[in-house]
Amino acid sequence: MIKRAFALWLTALMVSAVLLFVPPGVRAAIRETRAAHWDCRSWGWNLYGQVGDGTATDRKTPVGVPGLTGVVSVAAGYGHSLALLSDGTVRAWGWNLYGQLGDGTNTDRKKPVKVSGLSGVVAIAAGSSHSLTLK
């Protein structure tokens, strides 16, 4: 379990580091290009609803995450998931014991919810039990 969590953290860190070196104008162009083509699919362990399909059922094949359009980036923590949308807002779902979903509660969510008070976000990352954005 520790190896899996470390691998997820390292992946999020590498993606975040790469995005830090992309100029803002290029980020905007990438976001606009991707938004027309990407939807969000998820699968695997789903104890906390981190797959985002409205259930806590493990998924062995990809399933769509309802309610997400214009996804330009995704990130995964230990038991939660994040999606950055083309409008610069963020959606989160899954485990929320420490408030890592950013919706002002500690309630686990099986479907994406809007992260409160964020706009103009250009990058996201997720740690084991926390989330980060770059604006």
Q: Is the dihedral of CA 133, 56, 113, 61 positive or negative?
A: positive
Q: Please state the domain count of the chain.
A: 1
Structure tokens at 19: 């995005």
Count the residues in the chain. Answer: 135
Residue 40: closest CA among 58, 57, 65, 20: 65
In a structure prediction context, what are the per-residue pLDDT tens digits for the chain, which is 135 residues long?
555 555 555 554 554 444 444 455 444 544 454 445 478 999 999 999 999 999 999 999 999 999 898 999 999 999 999 999 999 999 999 999 999 999 999 999 999 999 999 999 999 999 999 999 999
∠ Cα 34 69 36 (to 5°): 30
Provide the CATH number for the domain around residue 49: 2.130.10.30
pLDDT of the residue at 38: 72
Q: Which domain holds residue 58?
A: 2-134
Question: 50 with 94: CB under 8 angstroms?
Answer: yes
pLDDT of the residue at 39: 83
pLDDT of the residue at 29: 47
